[in-house]
Amino acid sequence: MLSRINHRIYAFPTVLFLFLTLVFVSAGVSIQSEERAARVSKANTVAEQVKISLEVFSTERIQALHNVMRNWPTFEPNQVDWFNAQALSLMGMQKGYSSLAFVNAKGNIEWIATPNSGVKTRLDNRLVGRPMSELGLTISSMSEKFESTLIFSPQTQHHHILIGRAISPQEPEHGYLIAGFDVQSILGVMLGELVGPQFNFKLAADNAILFESGVLVNDGTQVSLAPFSFITRDFTLSMQSQLSPYNTGMLVIVIGLIMTALVSYVLHKQLKGAVSLSDSQQRYLTASEASLDALLIYQPSDEDFVLVESNSYSRYLFRGACDVLHAMTLSEQMRYLELHDIPKHVQSVAETGVPYESHLPLTSDKVAPEWLKIQVVKAANNIAITVRDVTERFKAQQDLKRSEEKYRRLVDGMHRHFVYTKTVDHTFIYVSAGLEKILGYAQETFCKNEPKYVRQVPDETFEIREIIARGNKPEPYLVHYQSSGGKSVVLEFSDTPILDDAGALIAIEGIARDVTKELVLQEEVFFQANHDQLTGLLNRYAFDAQLREILLHTNDSAEYTPFSVTGKSGGINSKTNVTAINLHREPAKPSVMCFIDMDRFKLVNDSCGHPAGDKLLKEISTIFRQFVNGQDLLARIGGDEFCIIFRNQSLDEVTQCLDKLLLAVSNYRFVYDDKLFFVGASIGVIEINESTQSAEALIKAADNACYKAKHLGRNRYFVFRENDSQMAIDDSENQVLHALHKALQHDGFELYSQAIMPLTVPQEEQGAHLQHYEILLRLNSKESGLISPGLFIPLAERHGLMNKVDLWVVDNTLKTLESNPAHIDNVGKVAINLSGITLGDEMALHKIAQRMQSTTVPAEKICFEITETTAVTNLNAAKHFISTLRDIGCSFALDDFGAGMSSFTYLKNLDVDYVKIDGSFVRNIVHDPIDHATVTAINNIAHSMGKQTVAEFVVDNATAEVLRKLKVDYGQGFALDKPKPLAHRVQWRVKLASA
C-alpha cells in the first residue's frame, strides 16, 4: 500500500515536466520553421545573382576572344609583337586571364603570354614547343567551336580552365588561340564581392570542388542551382544561409526546459524524504547477491569470529563444503581450508582497522578454487571478508610468462638480427641480445648512447619520421654505425608504429638486421657490372648509359654530375650509382668526346700473346688516367678502343690536353720478354652540343674521325666537324671498299669454318659424334690480297653494307650445304654470325626467313650467333628476330657473353640455346683465379637456365682440361681446331663418312 502511494507521489512532477516540455518545444519548433523559410529565400536570391555575374563574366571574355580572332592579321611582318600587344591589352582590360597562347597548325604551342611578363618563347617557357594535346585539347574538336578542358596546376594549387578554337575555321593553317583562366582567383574576387560571410557555398565542375566557403549542413535550407555555363563548362552552385547566432526557437526551448527542470526538481526534492529506509536496504541486498565476489560478515565471539551473513556467490564458491563451513568459527574454517595465516591477519584488522589483502594458493582438495584473492576490512564492530576466485587469471598469467620466455629465447637467438623498441621521439628503450653480437655494445649501453655510435643516417630521415607520426609503416631504411671494434656496420631498420585505441602514436617497434656484407657484395657486383675487369675503367655498358645521360642533360640548364669513373669501389659508403643526379644549378658548359684506338696493338698481341696485350692495356690506361679529372669519363669500350668525355672544357682546351696525351703515349716504351715496342694512339674528336642526335650517331662520328686519324699517319687526333660528314676516304680505304662492293657483286668472299668441339666427350670418341662448326668469312682481292675481317667488316658497317654481307654468308652457307646432302647428315650445328645492323633490319629478317623456309637444309642444323652488346642495345629487336627464326626451327647463341657483365639481367629475356663465354675470360683461366670464378659462374647460371655453354679462345690443352672439369659443354679455339675453308671441311667429312 505504501509503495503504491509513493509511486503516485513521484508521478505528479513527471507529468508536469512532460506537459511543460511539450508546450515549450512546440513553440520553439514553430519559430524555427519560420526562420528556415527565410534562410532558403535569401540563399536563392544570392545564388541567382552569383550565376548571372559568372555568366556575364564568361560572355564578355569569350566575345573578346572572338574579336581577337576576327582581327587576326593575315599578313603581319611581326606577328609576335602584334600578339603580345593584343594579349597584354586584352588581359589589362579584362581581369581573370592566367595566360593567352598561340598554337601553330601542327598543334604545338608557339607563343604564350601571361598578364605580368608578356610573350614567352621557347627559350624561357617550358610549355612552348609542347603539343597542346598534353593539356587535354585536340585539333579535331577546336575547328568550329571553343573546346575547353579543366586542369590542375601543382605550382599554384589552383584549377585552370583552358579554352581554345581555330583562329579561322575555314583556314586552319592560321593556327589556334588558347586562353587560360585561373578559376580560384576569379571566383575568389567575384564571390567575395557578391556573397557575404553569412553564407556557406560550394562551386564545382567536373566532380572537382573549385571554390568552397564554410560547411553546407543538410538541414533543408541548402539551395542547389541547375548546372550553368561558365567559360564553356558546366558549373554547379550550392548555397546556404548561415544559421543566426541568436536562434529564437532554440532559445525558447532551452529556457522552457530549464524552467520545467527547476520546477520538477523542487517537487522531487520535497518528495524525496518519503522514500523509506527499506528501499536502501533492498538495493544493498540485491547488489550483494549479484556480486561476483563472496561476501562474508563475521562478528566477534569468545576471542574468535563467527559467520553471521553471506551472499549467494559465497555458497557457490565453497560448494560441496558450504554446510560444514557454516557450522564452524573463522579459525576452524581456515584450518579446514588449510589457510592457516588468515586468522592472525583478521585479528590484526580488528585491532588496528588497517585492511589486509593477499593472493593465496588453495591447496585443499575440499573446494574447487586453486587461487583466491582475499580482502579483510573492519565494518564497525564486525569483520567483512571478500573472496574472489582468481584461478583462471593466475593460469593465464603463467601461460603468458611461459610465452614471453619462449619469445625472448627466440629473439635473443636470432642471427645477425635484433628486435628493438623506441619512444615516439625515436629514443631506444629496448634492444634484444642480438645487438651485442652485431655491434659489440651491451644492450643498456647502446640504449643510453645510441646517437654517439651513429656514423650516417638516411637523407630522408625527416620524411620517415613524418610517415611514422601519421601511423603508417615506412619502407626499410639504412643507418651506418661504428661498432665497439671501430668497424663500420650498416643496419637495416623496419619500423612499425604502435598506436593506442585513439590512433595516437605511443611507441615504435621493429626488427633490425646487419646488411653490411650484403652491401659490400652489391657494390662489388655493381663495380664488376660497370667496369672493365682488366683496366678498372668503365666498360661499354656503363659508358653508353653515362653518355645517354649526358646527352639528355645537354639541353638542360642544370649541370650533370656523373659518378666516379677512374677507380674501384670505395666501400659501403661510396656512391656508385649509374643514374646521374643534378647536384648544381649552373650554366651548362660544352663537352667533348674522344674515340681512341691503339696503334700497333695487334703487333704486340701477335708477337707476344694476349698476356702481353693485357699488360699493355693496363699501362696505357694508367697513362690516360693522368689526363682526366673527377668529372670526366674514361672507358674501355672494346679490345684496344677507349673513349674519353671531357666535361666542361672547350674544344681548344681538349686539343691542348690531347697534344700532351699523344706525347706521353709516344714517349712510352712497352717492354715484354726482352722485346721493345713503340705504340701510338689514333683519336677521333667530336664536340657534344644541342645538335647531337643520339649516342649511336655520336660514337659513329667519333669512330669515323678516329679512322681518318689512322689514315693520316696514326698517333694523332682528327676533329670531326659538322661539315665533315662526308669526309674523304683515302686510297687504301677506297681499295678495300671497292673490293667489298666487288665481292658482293661477284661472290668474291670465301667461307671458312672452325670446329666447335664437345668438351664432355672424350677426344678419341669425338669423331663418332655430329660435327659443330662456326662459319668465318674471308675477303681475297686480286688487287689487295687477303683482307682481314678486322678491316672490311668495320668498313661494311660504316657504309651500310653489313646486312648485305650477312645475307651473302647465310645464302652461300646454305648453298654449300645443299650441294652436299651427305655432309648434312654428319652436321650437328652450323653457327652463322649476324651483325647488329641485320638484327634491327626487318627486311633482312624477312629474307633470311624466306631462305630458311625454301632450303633443303633442316632448320635445326642452323644456329645464328648475336653478340651480347648487340642484343642488349637492341633488346626488343633481338627478341623479335629470335622469335621469328625460332618458329622456323633455328637455334640461337649469345656471343661474347660476360664482356659487359650486363648479360645476367637480360639473359632471362633472350630465348637463346647457347651461351658463348667471352674469350677474355677463357684464355687466362689456368692462371687467373678471377677468370676461373667468372667462367664457373657464367657456366652454372647458363646451365640453370637450360642453356648450353661454349668457351671461346681455347688456346692450349691445359685450358681445355680446366674447361672439362668445369663441365663447359663445348670449346672453340686453335687448340681444338684451326680455321679451314668450308669446302675442304665438307669434302673431308664426306670422304670420312664414305670411308
Q: What is the pLDDT of residues 222-241, one digit of tens each?
A: 766 667 777 777 788 787 77
Residues 385 and 375: beta-carbon distance below 8 Å:
yes
Domain count, the chain: 5
> pLDDT digit string (tens) for 101-119?
888 888 888 888 888 766 6
Range(s) of the domain holding residue 665: 521-728
On whether residue 651 sits in a domain, the answer given is: yes
On whether residue 400 sits in a domain, the answer given is: no
The mean per-residue pLDDT over the stretch 799-821 comes to: 92
> pLDDT digit string (tens) for 242-263?
776 666 767 777 787 888 788 7
- Same domain for 509 and 528? no
Who has greater pLDDT, 569 or 392? 392
Question: Under DSSP, is residue 868 helix (H, G, I), strand (E, B) or coil?
Answer: helix
- Same domain for 198 and 86? yes
On whether residue 270 sits in a domain, the answer given is: no
- Same domain for 829 and 938? yes
pLDDT exceeds cutoff 90 at 159: no
Provide the pLDDT for residue 586: 46
Those residues whose C-beta lies under 8 Å from the C-beta of residue 502, and which sit 6 or more positions away, are: none
Residue type, 647: R
Residues 431 and 420: beta-carbon distance below 8 Å:
yes
Which CATH number belongs to the domain containing residue 100 in this structure? 3.30.450.20
Q: What is the DSSP letter of 368?
A: S
Model pTM score: 0.36
Nearest 5°: phi and psi at 120?
Answer: -110, 140
On whether residue 963 sits in a domain, the answer given is: yes
On whether residue 264 sits in a domain, the answer given is: no
- Same domain for 182 and 311? no
Domain final residue pick, 205, 229, 256? 256
The alpha helices in 114-247, defined as continuous H runs, are 183-194
Considering 95-99, 136-140, 144-148, the range whose residues carry the highest mean pLDDT is 95-99
On whether residue 746 sits in a domain, the answer given is: no
Which CATH number belongs to the domain containing residue 664 in this structure? 3.30.70.270
- Same domain for 526 and 597? yes
- Same domain for 704 and 777? no
Q: Which of 524, 982, 613, 484 minimizes the C-alpha distance to 777?
A: 982
Distances (CA, A) of 415 to 412, 418, 439, 496, 515: 9, 8, 13, 21, 12
The mean per-residue pLDDT over the stretch 150-154 comes to: 75
pLDDT exceeds cutoff 80 at 749: yes
Provide the pLDDT for residue 564: 40
- Same domain for 464 and 584? no
| CB neighbours of residue 526 within 10 Å | 17
Average pLDDT, the chain: 81
Q: What number of CA atoms fall less than 13 Å from residue 26's CA on the CB side?
A: 6
On whether residue 431 sits in a domain, the answer given is: yes
Which CATH number belongs to the domain containing residue 956 in this structure? 3.20.20.450
- Same domain for 706 and 585? yes
- Same domain for 239 and 310? no
Provide the pLDDT for residue 568: 38
Residues 878 and 870: beta-carbon distance below 8 Å:
yes
Q: What is the DSSP letter of 628?
A: -
pLDDT exceeds cutoff 50 at 574: no
> pLDDT digit string (tens) for 277-294?
456 666 767 777 777 788
Distances (CA, A) of 676 to 599, 607, 671, 710, 878: 15, 11, 5, 22, 45
- Same domain for 775 and 807? yes
Confidence band, pLDDT 50/70/90 cuts, at residue 8: low
Q: In the structure grid, which three cell numbers stand for residue 490, read together?
A: 650498416
On whether residue 733 sits in a domain, the answer given is: no
> pLDDT digit string (tens) for 859-902?
999 999 998 767 766 678 889 999 999 999 999 999 888 764 44
Domain final residue pick, 477, 496, 514? 514
Confidence band, pLDDT 50/70/90 cuts, at residue 630: confident
Confidence band, pLDDT 50/70/90 cuts, at residue 585: very low
- Same domain for 118 and 93? yes
Domain final residue pick, 514, 530, 560? 514
Provide the pLDDT for residue 726: 44
- Same domain for 936 and 911? yes
pLDDT exceeds cutoff 50 at 538: yes
